[in-house]
Amino acid sequence: MNYSSFDSSLNSKTLRLSSKLIFLAGIAWGLMYLFFEIYHAAYLPFLYSFLMGIVILLHQFDKVSEKVLLNSNLFLILVIPALLQVSVGTYSNSGVVVLWSTFAPTGSLLFQGLKRAFFWFLAFLVVVFLLAAYEAFWLESPSKIENSTVIIFSLMNISAVTTVLFFSLRYYVSQLVTKQIEINKLMLIESEGKQLLNVKANKLNELLDEKNIMLKEIHHRVKNNLQVITSLLSLQNSFIQNQEIKSIFQKSQNRINSMAMIHEMLYQYDQLNKIEFGKYAESLIKSIIKSMTSSPEKIKFEITSSEILLNLDTAIPLALIVNEITTNSLKYGIKGLSNGKISLDLKVLKNQHYQMFIGDNGSGIDASNFGTNKVTLGMMLIRKLIRQINGSVELLETKVGTYYKINFQEV
């Protein structure tokens, strides 16, 4: 586990306490040298404590950062013992100096993580190499220190260094264990959270399935009710002798049937709020041709449309428009033609805007009356329905037949 600088559980409070303890250790080290009458080396521990004290004091008044405080500690711990070894000039002290220098990579490991500790370890190796080179090539006449002093001094230093290293590493391991326990707890919480989310998701899926079933049932019932109405109109129409009135009833049936077919498609497919209008228009035109002509196979029709999905509020008015135009085409435009053809082309423009071309190759209508009030009920319905879908209708100038360009947008 790799901690970033000052982001581990070893917080700034621990760093400040460690700095003060090492500051006091430097003073104790210097006093110990004075006690053993090694006066020529005693100034170095005091120098360390003096420099460290200045950094601690500056940090106390927010003049230097924690990073400077830590790196000052590590640098002085690495350098001062080595200088002390040079100052004392004896082989007997080198092992203790190396032990003290190990505080630099150890402290970096505790406070800065493995990556920075690696660089301090390399610096530690450089210091050890230089000490070894000093003793091998430059130390000609080692200082004479009594054996009893060397033994006592070495035991005290080794005990102190070993104790500090032991508790430092033990503390570091305990932090790793604590972190792992925290991670395990978080993983357990995450696992429980995922289980709870799965339960909630399953519940939501069940509710969604129930909603979809209810919506399908609603569409089915609406379709059935509309078919009942068309059946009643058809029954009533069978008793009417007047052809004009029968035609009115037939148109009403077609209009209601065009809406019933939308609910039928929504009931049959998974999409409960949108309908693929190209497929729907094909079924609708087939149904109108079959209901209004005795020879539906003679009427050709062509549908050009990509997979355009429209919501119910847009599809129903547009379906009624297709119904009115197709009905007019069969009744007036291509009536009696052996090569009659109805065409519909639906395309997407942009920003939920659409364009539809629809018409026939029949006899055509009087274009001069298109923009006036001298229009049929069907044309009045088309214009009202166009307004519902924020659209516009235009009669195209063609040599043969009647074709409309209808621009609209999804409501």
Whether residue 215 is contained in a domain is answered as no
Residue 61, SS3?
coil
What is the spatial distance between Cα 70 and Cα 14, in angstroms, rounded to a whole number? 11
How much is the pLDDT for 367?
66
What is the spatial distance between Cα 19 and Cα 6, in angstroms, rounded to a whole number? 14
| Pair 301, 289: CB distance under 8 Å | yes
* E strand or H helix that includes residue 344: strand 341-348
Please report where in the chains the tokens 């970033």 appear, as a residue. 4
Please report where in the chains the tokens 């519940």 appear, as a residue. 203
How does strand 341-348 pair with strand 353-360? antiparallel
| Pair 60, 95: CB distance under 8 Å | no
Whether residue 165 is contained in a domain is answered as no
Please report where in the chains the tokens 């399908």 appear, as a residue. 216
Rg (CA), the chain: 47
Q: Which amino acid is at 284?
A: L
The residue from 102, 124, 145 where one domain ends is 145
Read off the DSSP letter of residue 77: H
Q: What's the average pLDDT block by block, 10 residues per block, for the chain (411 residues)? A: 42 76 81 78 82 87 84 81 72 66 77 81 83 72 59 62 66 76 89 90 85 75 82 83 82 81 73 81 87 82 88 88 88 80 91 90 73 66 89 86 91 80
Tokens of 138: 């430059």
What is the spatial distance between Cα 111 and Cα 173, in angstroms, rounded to a whole number? 13
The residue from 145, 170, 204 where one domain ends is 145
What is the spatial distance between Cα 403 and Cα 331, in angstroms, rounded to a whole number? 15
The residue from 122, 145, 168 where one domain ends is 145
* E strand or H helix that includes residue 356: strand 353-360
| Cβ neighbours, 10 Å, residue 396 | 12
Residue (of 56, 51, 57) closest to 76 by Cα position: 51
**Alpha carbon 132 to its chain's center:** 58
| Cβ neighbours, 10 Å, residue 280 | 23
How much is the pLDDT for 408?
93
Whether residue 328 is contained in a domain is answered as yes
What is the spatial distance between Cα 262 and Cα 145, in angstroms, rounded to a whole number? 107
Read off the DSSP letter of residue 137: I
Whether residue 169 is contained in a domain is answered as no
Read off the DSSP letter of residue 37: T
Residue 15, SS3?
helix
CATH code: domain of residue 363: 3.30.565.10
Whether residue 70 is contained in a domain is answered as yes
| The total number of structural domains that make up the chain | 2
Q: Where are the beta strands (DSSP E) in 242-313?
A: 274-276, 300-305, 309-311
The parent domain of residue 341 ranges over 274-411
How much is the pLDDT for 407?
93
Whether residue 398 is contained in a domain is answered as yes
Read off the DSSP letter of residue 360: E
Whether residue 240 is contained in a domain is answered as no
What is the spatial distance between Cα 2 and Cα 115, in angstroms, rounded to a whole number? 8
| Cβ neighbours, 10 Å, residue 250 | 18
How much is the pLDDT for 137?
73
